[in-house]
Amino acid sequence: MDSYKMEERNNLYPVFLKVKNLSVLIVGGGNVAEEKLTFLLKSSPDAKVTMVSPMFREKTIALAEKFCVTRVTDIYNKKYLEGRHIVVATTDIPEVNIQVWKDCRAQAKLVNVADNPPYCDFYMGGIVSKGNVKVAISTNGKSPTTAKRLRQFFEEVIPENVDDLVKNLNEYRKTIKGDFEEKVETLNEFTKGLIGKKEVENDQD
């Protein structure tokens, strides 16, 4: 029977959203809401965010004011979904979070109910950012701790000057002659040499 068993895999499709062009709603004002807001603003400080909650923690208020996040002191109502593209539910009342999910489903809005994978259209995974380079890590919602450790690993192994490489390659790309396939081949050969050089250096360590 095991031979017929399908191997479990991560079927999530990764995308990088321009959240400054979107409207994000966070329902809740407690610790989890603050964590989600911090995570979002760390990656995208220009994100357009609104929070709705009967109360907000002092640190959340300070963070919201620093990044021009709109705060609405009120209980959740589906009217707050109007104009939103992405919604994150973080309250400590399961019934409220499920209602947020139901309302988002009815209006075809992307929703994430914190710490409740069955009610998530997306996960907020681990992220490593160095200039123009950004690496996103997902464990398919199974282990945030593993994602955190992988993020720490990549933060160490990705060189600090990787952004210089990206910028230089972008300028170099503009000078390459030929059609698209020829340009890709040229860049592949060039970057292959860089990786090969790195491997030789590692062998000598």
Task: Quote the CA–CA distance of 51 and 40 in Å, as a whole number.
Answer: 13
**pLDDT of the residue at 202:** 46
Backbone angles phi, psi at 28, to 5 degrees: 130, 155
Longest CA pairwise span in the chain (Å): 62
Q: What is the 3-state secondary structure (H, E, C) of 171-201?
A: HHHHHCCCCHHHHHHHHHHHHHHHHHHHHHH
d(CA 37, CA 42): 8
User: What is the β-pairing status of strands 133-137 and 126-130?
Assistant: antiparallel
| DSSP-derived secondary structure letter, 68 | T
CA angle, residues 104, 107, 113, in degrees to nearest 5: 10
Give tens-digit pLDDT for 170-197. 776 677 777 777 667 766 766 665 555 4
- pLDDT tens for 56-105 read 999 999 999 999 999 999 999 999 999 999 999 999 999 999 999 999 99
Residue 128: its pLDDT value, please?
87
Task: Of 30-39, 101-110, 195-204, give the lowest mean pLDDT range.
Answer: 195-204
In 3D, which of 69, 13, 70 has the Cα closest to residue 46? 69
- Could you give the angle at the alpha carbon of 13 between the alpha carbons of 11 and 179, nearest 5°? 125
What's the pLDDT score for residue 191?
A: 65
Q: Which of 29, 23, 44, 49 is nearest to 90 (CA)?
A: 29
**Contacts of 23 by beta carbon, 8 Å cutoff, 6+ apart:** 48, 50, 83, 84, 85, 86
